[in-house]
């Protein structure tokens, strides 16, 4: 059996690990791995970069082996003892070193052929269900019985249509590669206030004494989500599990949103978490809320955070157990609040931000409305009629999940789409089956073609963290092996 894995991050390597160790493929398996940026194992997020770019989970939660939850902490003790504590927020490049040390042995397997190239096109021989792939050097690679696209995240979104203007940085990662040339007398705007924006701000503020304050822009009324402190170490009641999901399905396989919400609220009550109080105190993400949260750490917030981390691994299963109408209801009624408490920002990052706001080295501008390009610089206008100047703009607004808009930036996505091998999911990203991740095209299911990772995180809801990517890739590889292995 000839198999192609396109994309060499954690999802791709998990597929390879599972297939190589599966008894169904004892003798008959060749895997061609294609990776466009030589990011083997580490993928796009965990390659070499500034130490200011940090993991958003505590070190104690980052082992990739569930059978040894302390594996990452043990690795830190041997390699970066200064970070070897439960609550450390570790630089992402160190996490990449850990992943590489644990999984790069797979590249030495005689069954794995490594190709340092991008795949830009794909064709199917529909009579034989065999694929061929075109690399960016124009060469076609033939005869694949299965293709796993583990290509990471969509391109960065360009909401203000600035791509191609002279001083606009659309994709800021790796940060110390894309921003190292900036000069201290230039003025900057950073569009967005999420985790990437904060990594960028930390990097810039530690790099130089800038002549002008750095400005963070958001189109919302308040900039942040909630603060993440150390991990709550006490017992937490968390009812969701594979067994809970199986036992609550009705005869059509669905679980009602009401049952899920009731279970969630009952759990919070059992854990003595007053969600109403937390909403009143921390529900907007304003600077004053963040100040007060840092000044008076709140045990309930830590418990809620722990609870949400524990249930996150079940999010895609729970979401796909809702009927489509109830998924819409979830988005309308609950998603904003749930994400507000789920997307927490490490306390160190927020404390640093507040310190620099107070010193006037940083400013936050809310209600951004439009951006006008003027020669080599930019004019940013707010809903309130304020106007700001920037020599450079750094885009930290997240990813473009609208496939039609992303086509221009990704030749592979463009070709898959125009060959009818990819269908947009109506909430963004691409449509795949649950839980197998098989690609759904309007011509039907693409035989043995799978898409994993961030591109499917709208339908496989929440699938944008390391543990979910691993869980999903393991499931897909096991499902594929069970169906197509031949025990030779
Ligand atoms: C900046 C950033 C920070 C993050 N931080 C965290 C975090 O702190 N904690 C957490 O849990 N999750 C984090 N994530 C989420 C992260 O996406 C997942 O944790 C996980 O690493 C994704 O793995 P992946 O293999 O699916 O994708 P990736 O690791 O992105 O790997 C995809 C690979 O495919 C390659 N590729 C893409 N297109 C092609 C092509 N056409 N041909 C060949 N190769 C191709 C890319 O070069 C890349 O190496 C972060 C994501 C980003 C982008």
DSSP secondary structure string for all residues of 198-231: HHHHHHHHHH---SS-EEEE-SSSS---EEE-SP
pLDDT of 214 above 80: yes
Strands 130-135 and 119-125: antiparallel
pLDDT of 487 above 60: no
Would you say the CB of residue 171 lies under 6 angstroms from ligand 1?
no
Separation of CA 466 from chain center: 8
Q: Which atom of ligand 1 is nearest to the CA of 95?
A: 8
Which of 7, 452, 471 most suits a substitution to test ligand 1, by most atoms within 8 Å of the C-beta?
A: 7
Establish if 70 belongs to a structural domain.
Answer: no
Which residue segment(s) compose the domain that 263 sits in? 226-342
> Considering only CA atoms, which residue is closest to atom 10 of ligand 1?
465
Statement to judge: residues 142 and 13 lie in one domain: yes
Q: How far is the CA of 398 from the centre of ligand 1 (A)?
A: 13
The whole-angstrom separation of Cα 379 and Cα 359 is: 24
Place of tokens 């292995």: 485
Tens-place pLDDT, residues 399-456: 999 999 999 999 999 999 999 999 999 999 999 999 999 999 999 999 999 999 999 9
Establish if 373 belongs to a structural domain.
Answer: yes
Q: How far is the CA of 108 from the centre of ligand 1 (A)?
A: 22
What integer pLDDT is reported at residue 486 of this predicted model? 55
Establish if 28 belongs to a structural domain.
Answer: yes
Statement to judge: residues 379 and 417 lie in one domain: no
Statement to judge: residues 26 and 109 lie in one domain: yes
Could you tell me the maximum CA-CA distance found in the chain, to the nearest angstrom? 71
Would you say the CB of residue 47 lies under 6 angstroms from ligand 1?
no
> Considering only CA atoms, which residue is closest to atom 49 of ligand 1?
43
CB 368 within 8 A of CB 380: yes
CB 190 within 8 A of CB 394: yes
Establish if 82 belongs to a structural domain.
Answer: no
Establish if 81 belongs to a structural domain.
Answer: no
pLDDT of 125 above 60: yes
Mean pLDDT of 176-195: 92
- pLDDT band with cut points at 50, 70 and 90 for residue 488: very low
Rounded to the nearest 10°, the torsion over CA 318, 320, 325, 330 is 40
Name the more confident of 28 and 288: 288
**Among 217, 259, 221, 197, residue whose Cα is nearest residue 378:** 217
Q: What is the mean pLDDT of the chain?
A: 95
What integer pLDDT is reported at residue 462 of this predicted model? 86
pLDDT of 3 above 90: yes
**Tokens, residue 190:** 């950073």
Look at 26-35, 250-259, 446-455, 468-477 and tell me which has the smallest mean pLDDT.
Answer: 26-35
What integer pLDDT is reported at residue 485 of this predicted model? 61
Would you say the CB of residue 429 lies under 6 angstroms from ligand 1?
no
**Tokens, residue 313:** 């691994």
Work out how many domains the chain is built from and give that number: 3
What integer pLDDT is reported at residue 225 of this predicted model? 87
Statement to judge: residues 219 and 231 lie in one domain: no
Establish if 328 belongs to a structural domain.
Answer: yes
pLDDT of 464 above 50: yes
Establish if 267 belongs to a structural domain.
Answer: yes
What integer pLDDT is reported at residue 171 of this predicted model? 94
């Amino acid at each position: 059996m000839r198999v192609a894995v396109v994309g060499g991050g954690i999802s791709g390597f998990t597929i390879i690990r599972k297939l190589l160790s599966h008894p169904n493929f004892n003798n008959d398996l060749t895997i061609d791995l294609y990776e466009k940026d030589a990011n083997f194992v580490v993928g796009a997020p965990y390659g070499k970069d500034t130490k200011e770019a940090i993991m958003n989970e505590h070190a104690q939660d980052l082992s990739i082996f569930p059978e040894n939850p302390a594996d990452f902490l043990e690795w830190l003790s041997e390699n970066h003892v200064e970070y070897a504590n439960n609550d450390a927020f570790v630089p992402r490049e160190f996490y990449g070193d850990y992943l590489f040390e644990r999984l790069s042995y797979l590249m030495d397997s005689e069954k794995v052929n490594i190709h340092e190239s991008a795949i830009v096109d794909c064709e199917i021989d529909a009579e034989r269900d065999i694929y061929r792939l075109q690399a960016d050097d124009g060469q076609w690679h033939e005869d694949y019985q299965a293709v796993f696209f583990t290509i990471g995240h969509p391109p960065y979104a360009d909401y203000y249509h600035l791509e191609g203007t002279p001083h606009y940085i659309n994709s800021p990662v790796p940060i110390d590669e894309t921003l190292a040339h900036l000069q201290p007398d230039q003025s900057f705007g950073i569009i967005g206030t999420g985790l990437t924006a904060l990594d960028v701000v930390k990097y810039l503020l530690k790099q130089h004494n800038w002549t002008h304050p750095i400005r963070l822009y958001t189109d919302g009324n308040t900039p942040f989500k909630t603060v993440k402190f150390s991990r709550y170490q006490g017992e937490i009641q968390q009812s969701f599990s594979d067994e809970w999901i199986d036992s609550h399905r009705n005869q059509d396989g669905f679980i009602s949103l009401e049952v899920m919400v009731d279970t969630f609220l009952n759990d919070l009550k059992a854990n003595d978490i007053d969600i109403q109080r937390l909403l009143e105190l921390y529900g907007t993400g304003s600077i004053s809320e963040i100040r007060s949260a840092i000044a008076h750490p709140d045990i309930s917030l830590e418990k809620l955070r722990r609870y949400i981390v524990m249930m996150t691994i079940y999010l895609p299963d729970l979401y796909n157990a809702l009927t489509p109408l109830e998924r819409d209801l979830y988005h309308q009624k609950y998603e904003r609040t749930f994400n507000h408490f789920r997307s927490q920002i490490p306390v160190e990052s927020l404390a640093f931000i507040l310190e620099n706001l107070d010193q006037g080295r940083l400013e936050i501008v809310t209600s951004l409305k439009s951006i006008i390009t003027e020669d080599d610089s930019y004019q940013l206008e707010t809903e309130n009629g304020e106007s700001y100047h920037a020599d450079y703009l750094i885009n930290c607004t997240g990813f473009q999940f609208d496939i039609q808009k992303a086509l221009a930036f990704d030749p592979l996505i463009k070709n898959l789409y125009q060959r009818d091998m990819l269908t947009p999911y109506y909430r963004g990203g691409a449509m795949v089956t649950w839980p197998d991740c098989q690609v759904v095209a309007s011509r039907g299911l693409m035989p043995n073609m799978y898409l994993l990772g961030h591109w499917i995180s709208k339908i496989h809801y929440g699938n944008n963290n390391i543990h979910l990517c691993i869980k999903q890739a393991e499931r897909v590889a096991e499902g594929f092996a069970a169906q197509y292995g031949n025990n030779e």
